[in-house]
Structure 1
Amino acid sequence: MQRVISAIKKWWPDFNSTVGFFLLSVFLVWLKTYWAYKTKFSLGVSGSLQEFLLFLNPIPTAIILLGIALYFRGRIAYWLMLLINLVQTIWLFANILYYREFSDFLSLNIMNSGGSVENNLSKSIAGIIQGSDFLVFLDIIVLIVLLLTKVIKVDKTAVQKRFATLTTVFGILLMLVGYGISSKDRSGLLTRTFDNNYIVKYLGLNEYAAYNVFKTKQTADVKKEAKASDLDKIKQFVKNNSTLQNSVYFGKEKGKNVIMFHLESFQQFLIDYKVNGVEVTPNLNKFYHDQNTLAFDNFYNEVGQGKTADAEMMLETGLFGTASGSAMVNYGTSNTYQAVPAWLDQQGYTTAAFHGDVASFWNRDNTYKSWGYDYFFSKPYYKDADNASYNIGYGMKDKIFLQDAAKYVEQLPQPFYAKLITVTNHYPYDLDKQNISIEKTTTGDKTVDGYVQTARYLDQSFAEFLNWMKKSGLYDKSMIVLYGDHYGISENHPAAIAKLMGKSSVNKYDLANWQKVPFIVHAPGLQGGVNHTYGGEIDVMPTLLHLLGVSTANDVQFGQDLLATNRKQVVPFRNGDWVSAEYMKYGGNYYVTTTGTKINPKEDPRVKEIIEQTQAYVNKMLTYSDNVQTGDLLRFYTPEGFKKVKKSDYSYKKSDGLKLLKQMDKKQDTTLKDQHDQKSTMADYVTDAPELGGQPQTIQQASSSNSTSTDGAATDSATVDDSGAATDSTAVGQ
């Protein structure tokens, strides 16, 4: 026994030595990082090799970074190790919080654009944070206490420089070994992947940070080196994948107003969904199934790190958000775009965006100028917008915001293109009691269960605006478009998702379909129905422009008209996964799209070939879109019939905006107010918002006619096949 104790003492590090303290620090950094990997992130680790790499990858950078302190002596070395530990821990902690909300890791661009997203963020963080998150700081506190109480004494002896150097070299070699093993298991890890989860899983969180910094600088250099000829192969790719115009729909809505509703965090499953027999969104359900509504039930969000900003980018420009950060923030100010507002402005439209928060959010005040918006009605335009009771989460409550927005809509010269960005249905899905009209779901997940309550509030807000449109006469002259920007409930809540879907568990196939969001187009006289074509947000721009009779044949944009007869029906996701009408790739697995049957492409040569061709198409599309964004390639090309946008022509200051409204009213007599003998139509706008004197909401109970099922109810409707031909059938909700 004595020999065992002696052996332990011989090999057990002396924590009173600098080297001993270093080894202890490395161990603690490794321990908490590995713990976070296993408990705070969903990295999709499978197999013993990936488990080994995950176990290994926190060690190299811990050795390299903490090893810096070994080049110093005494107290400096000890406190430097604590400081380095603290910096790494703050980075780990920040990613834990960010990942919980966005299923992704922080990037340099996201941090640099913090000003665009930090407004009202504190409330979200309060909802995101968990007590166990703070455990990552525990080792630092313990080490400081041990040093201050002199349980661990500071070793004033200098560590040999040779030992310090060898330690650094060992850490680098260990990192290279890990990278070598990782590259064999995942070829092209740093050259082909669009998913940050892979980099963290294989290499580590700190290595991801270094890679991201490198990629960010590389992107900046790309723009400097870009030239006009870089656009040639991209234009050819777009031309090769162009679609035919649908003769039934092309130009059908020419000259009509376009009113686009941005439905924050609104997912497709909410359509026809019930809680205890009560419809969550009865007004949207009715609108969805209207005979003059085109609804797309296989429509997916395709956002990346930019989330809402990425959705706007795709809808307005036909370009994807970039692989890292928000393209609106990183490129919106300086890049050249040929966006929907500019195209329609040059067709005689007035263009305006409405948002109940500050103009700088997601850099909208600059990006919208690049897109050619005549007006941007942000928070300063609305009466008492800073009233605390008028706001929740990320801006003004939807009912109050939409009523205020209508005051400016009625002053826009027609035809106009107006985008209304709702925000109340945003995480953390809090709503004051007086506005709640439906029970929470009962998944037991606090993050999830309030979601239906804010979705119901959004539904009511939309109905109030729609009723005003009908009373004022605007409804009959307008094409109304609704889209969900991205998921509301992250796939990091699989147990809750399963309960919402009525399943015992969910797999990757279910989570892929969880990315569906609504896309709805309505106009009086429009041949409607539920269209089952597979598409996504990148396809909205050509679809809308074609309905308005504007050709996109010469545009550099990557979408395909959802009503086209020869569209590919391939939906790329930002991380390189995809869905097609035949097969699906999601989370490293492959499925038959219509059945969910998991398949192995290697077992069938035909399937393998189709999947490889689809993957090549998706990779090329994402890469080319990134090239356009990062190289600002559209500065080298102006389509026929398009005039380059001059950003200096636009100002979104309230005084300038109000002045422009008056000037335009004198030049044109086409506003809604003009058509009512210069009288406001706001008397027709009725809201029950309690903040404005309306009756507070009460929880709605299911009537005897309501089903007790939590699934969507079947509703008679017409469906539209992929060729655009209407057929009678029954559309069943999610």
Structure 2
Amino acid sequence: MQRVTSAAKKCSSFLFNSTMGFFILNVFFVWLKTYSVYQNDFSLGAKGPMQQFLLILNPIPTAIIFISLGLYFRGKASYWTMLFMNLLQSIWLFSNVLYYREFSDFLSLNIMSSSGAAGNNLGLALGGIIKGTDFLIFADLVALVLLIAFKQIHVNRKTVRKRIAGLTTILGVFLMFVGYGLAETDRSGLLVRTFDNNYIVKYLGLNEYAAYNIYKTQKTAEVKKQATPQTLEKVDKFVKENQTTPNPEYYGSLKGKNVIMFHLESFQQFMIDYKVDGKEVTPNINRFYHSQDSLSFDNFYNQVGQGKTADAETMLETGLYGTESGSSMVNYGSTNTYQAVPNILDQKGYTTAAFHGDVASFWNRDNTYKNWGYDYFFSKPFFEGGDKDNYNIGYGMKDKIFLKESAQYLERLPQPYYAKMITVTNHYPYDLDKENISIEKTETGDKTVDGYVQTARYLDQAFGEFEKYLKDSGMYDNTVLVLYGDHYGISENHPDAIAKLMGKDSVTPYDLANWQKVPFIVHSPGLEGKGGVNHTYGGEIDVMPTLMHLLGISTKNNIQFGQDLLAKDRKEVVPFRNSTFASKDYIKYGGDYYVTSTGTKIDPKEDLRAKQIIDDNQKYVNDSLSYSDQVQTGDLLRFHTLPGYKPDKASDYSYKKSDTMKALEESDKKKPTSALNKNKGKSTEYKTDAPELGGQPQTIDQDDSDDESDGNSDSQ
């Protein structure tokens, strides 16, 4: 017993009275909290003994390397250096916990460097999901500082021998290579093939992921310098090999009509026909979805990556995927050459405009839109009261106020026009002031989730008012309304809440894969009853060719990676940014495969037919993402000639209010086809019940079955 006590005292003395002991304490605590976060906050999907062992091992190498820097100093400098390196790793861990909780991904260099474009409201969103237990990440630092302050840990004044310090650092490097070697045996080609970021963290570690991401980001910057016209040839060949034949029943059926792209922020497919206490959450959108004048798609997936909304816009406007490393709008929007929908339509006689109730620089829109060819961009400075606190929530102006304010400019656009309305109220953290709430929260017990139906209802009401305005102004019959959800609103990191929303006891990976579905609806009286719900498998990358073909514009010479959703020869394979996919036959989620029609999990090795289809699908997915990335990172469209298309110059555009109003006046004289002109200069009243503007406040007990004319009708 004395030996045990003596050994414990020696160990305690070593840890609390020696520099190496303090080093070990810091390494241990960094490992402990990182491993705890791996298990409790990240969904890394570690399976089997090897992956579990790597999960235990991978926090150690970088902890040793960073904290060992303190061993090269002496006395207090040594101790404070080690604490500082512990702090840096803790901040990085803490930041990723918050980011991952909402976005199911890890922070990247591009996300952090784009804070000026997207971060003005990110703090609000993340602030809403901080838990008190998150701060335990810093508990060891507080404890260590206090132990030093109260002399329970004695600062050793002796210098650690340089050889020992050097060998310690080398040990960390050696363990890193050991971990990488083991990872390669379990998952070959980990760093040379495109994988989900979860794989990198699972196999190598969070700090190693950061280093890898920085390397990849810097490497892509070099790609543009090395790109040549020959680089584009393989891309062009792939695109042509995968082209579809436009469906003659629909091709050109909406030619010459106005187009309004109505952005349903964070709106998911499960909301269609969803009810709370027997009440439809979104009756107006439901009615549109089921209308015979609507082409609606129930197997339509969001395909965004780290760029989220920016990725959705990029796919819809350019036919290119968001890049692997972050928002292409932020990274390339200011400098790249594009052949985007706004400029293509502009050269077909359309007026093009985007509307957004936040600052123009958000996601670098003010620069990107010029390179996409938007004639006008109406952002917050254009809207009266845009700076009033009660007019705004989260990421910009409340939808009802924003759409009402936008109407004064929409009616002045020469027709035909192509306009994009970007709503924001249905964005995390799904907060809404009491006077605008008209439906009860769900009761999943998850605060992040339960307010979602209330902001979705508000968005639906705002859309209903906008629809009513289009009818009153006379624009409705000559307009194509395209409604799309940009990305998930409730991330897969809320499985218990998702299960309750779906009416299930629990959710499977197959359920979570299908949770990525968002609405896509093309509505126009011009469809003359030829609409309905289409079950084809597609995603946001397919919107550009689908819309262009409906307008009678060929895409056979475009470099774009989607396929017309109405084409009979389309592949029905939906690539996701992490190289998984959904298709009419099989779904790949994580590293597993499921039969699409049944959700049955399969092993392709046991079914040669399934393996061949899956391998073909995977090759198509990998090639699509890789070639699209090459176009973006290499700015390859500068080498591409699109017949009849004139590249635009960003310098030709100005989105200043004074310049915009002057340009509108001049265009009105040249082409007096606006709704305002059609109505003999009389502006159409926009009716809204927004309480901020004097409307009747919403109440939860309010009857939802109003007449259609009030913009809040039930589904038909």
TM-score of the aligned structures, taking structure 2 as reference length: 0.97
> Does residue 137 of the first structure (1) align with residue 114 of the second (2)?
no
C-alpha distance in 1, partners of 2:260/2:705? 36
Q: CA deviation at 1:656?
A: 0.8
Structure-2 residue corresponding to 1:593: 596
Structure-1 residue corresponding to 2:711: none
Amino acid at match of 1:462: F
Q: CA deviation at 1:234?
A: 0.5
C-alpha distance in 2, partners of 1:499/1:441? 9
Instruction: Tell me: CA distance 1:141–1:331, structure 2 relative to 1, closer, same or farther (3 Å).
Output: same
Which aligned runs of 4 or more in structure 1 are off by greater than 6 angstroms?
701-705
Residues 537-576 of structure 1 deviation map (CA, whole Å, 9 limit, x = unaligned): 0000000011111100000000000001100000000000
Residues 9-52 of structure 1 deviation map (CA, whole Å, 9 limit, x = unaligned): 45553421111100111101111111111111111111121111
Structure-2 residue corresponding to 1:341: 342
The one of 567, 571, 587 aligned to 1:564? 567
Structure-2 residue corresponding to 1:471: 472
Q: CA deviation at 1:612?
A: 1.0
Structure-2 residue corresponding to 1:730: none
Matches within 5 A, 1:439-588: 439-526=440-527, 527-588=530-591
Structure-2 residue corresponding to 1:647: 650
- Contact kept? 2:435, 2:697, Cα under 8 Å: yes
Q: CA deviation at 1:325?
A: 1.2
Q: CA deviation at 1:7?
A: 3.4
Secondary structure of 2:525's partner? coil
- Contact kept? 2:283, 2:715, Cα under 8 Å: no
Structure-2 residue corresponding to 1:618: 621
Structure-2 residue corresponding to 1:720: none
- Contact kept? 2:16, 2:152, Cα under 8 Å: no
C-alpha distance in 2, partners of 1:153/1:9? 15
Q: Which moved more, 1:139-148 or 1:307-316?
A: 139-148
Structure-2 residue corresponding to 1:308: 309
Q: CA deviation at 1:702?
A: 7.7
Secondary structure of 1:533's partner? strand
Amino acid at match of 2:561: F
Residues 367-413 of structure 1 deviation map (CA, whole Å, 9 limit, x = unaligned): 00010000000000001111111111110000000011011000000
C-alpha distance in 1, partners of 2:656/2:697? 35
Q: CA deviation at 1:164?
A: 0.7
Structure-1 residue corresponding to 2:29: 28
Structure-1 residue corresponding to 2:418: 417
C-alpha distance in 1, partners of 2:523/2:31? 55
- Contact kept? 2:71, 2:160, Cα under 8 Å: yes
- Contact kept? 2:438, 2:702, Cα under 8 Å: no
Q: CA deviation at 1:125?
A: 2.1
> Does residue 403 of the first structure (1) align with residue 401 of the second (2)?
no
C-alpha distance in 1, partners of 2:464/2:308? 26
Structure-2 residue corresponding to 1:4: 4
- Contact kept? 2:286, 2:715, Cα under 8 Å: no
- Contact kept? 2:397, 2:425, Cα under 8 Å: yes
Residues 238-261 of structure 1 deviation map (CA, whole Å, 9 limit, x = unaligned): 000000011011111111000110
Instruction: Tell me: CA distance 1:312–1:268, structure 2 relative to 1, closer, same or farther (3 Å).
Output: same
Q: CA deviation at 1:6?
A: 2.9
C-alpha distance in 2, partners of 1:435/1:10? 66
Secondary structure of 2:16's partner? coil
Secondary structure of 2:536's partner? coil
Identity of aligned residues (%): 69
Matches within 5 A, 1:146-545: 146-526=147-527, 527-545=530-548
Q: Which moved more, 1:117-126 or 1:70-79?
A: 117-126
C-alpha distance in 2, partners of 1:132/1:180? 35
Instruction: Tell me: CA distance 1:384–1:484, structure 2 relative to 1, closer, same or farther (3 Å).
Output: same
Structure-1 residue corresponding to 2:709: none
C-alpha distance in 1, partners of 2:572/2:87? 48
C-alpha distance in 2, partners of 1:703/1:101? 31
Considering only aligned residues, what root-mean-square deviation do their CA atoms show, in Å? 1.4
Secondary structure of 2:355's partner? strand
Residues 410-454 of structure 1 deviation map (CA, whole Å, 9 limit, x = unaligned): 000010000000000000000001000111101010000000000
Structure-2 residue corresponding to 1:630: 633
Structure-1 residue corresponding to 2:664: 661
C-alpha distance in 2, partners of 1:635/1:9? 71
Structure-2 residue corresponding to 1:711: none
Amino acid at match of 2:519: P
C-alpha distance in 2, partners of 1:90/1:11? 30
Secondary structure of 2:333's partner? coil
C-alpha distance in 2, partners of 1:715/1:490? 27
Secondary structure of 2:489's partner? coil
Q: Which moved more, 1:332-341 or 1:637-646?
A: 637-646
C-alpha distance in 2, partners of 1:703/1:176? 62
- Contact kept? 1:375, 1:657, Cα under 8 Å: yes
Secondary structure of 1:34's partner? helix
C-alpha distance in 2, partners of 1:277/1:43? 37
Q: Which moved more, 1:325-334 or 1:114-123?
A: 114-123
C-alpha distance in 1, partners of 2:455/2:289? 19
Secondary structure of 2:367's partner? helix
C-alpha distance in 1, partners of 2:613/2:715? 36
Secondary structure of 1:559's partner? coil
Q: CA deviation at 1:5?
A: 2.3
Structure-2 residue corresponding to 1:731: none
Amino acid at match of 2:643: E
Q: CA deviation at 1:304?
A: 0.3
Residues 188-224 of structure 1 deviation map (CA, whole Å, 9 limit, x = unaligned): 1111133111111111111011111111110111111
Instruction: Tell me: CA distance 1:486–1:4, structure 2 relative to 1, closer, same or farther (3 Å).
Output: same
Gaps of 5+ in 2: 707-713
Structure-2 residue corresponding to 1:724: none
- Contact kept? 1:278, 1:700, Cα under 8 Å: no
Q: CA deviation at 1:525?
A: 3.1
Residues 509-545 of structure 1 deviation map (CA, whole Å, 9 limit, x = unaligned): 0001100000000111301100000000000000001
Between the two proteins, the alignment pairs up a number of residues equal to 706
Gaps of 5+ in 1: 706-713, 717-734
C-alpha distance in 2, partners of 1:439/1:562? 36
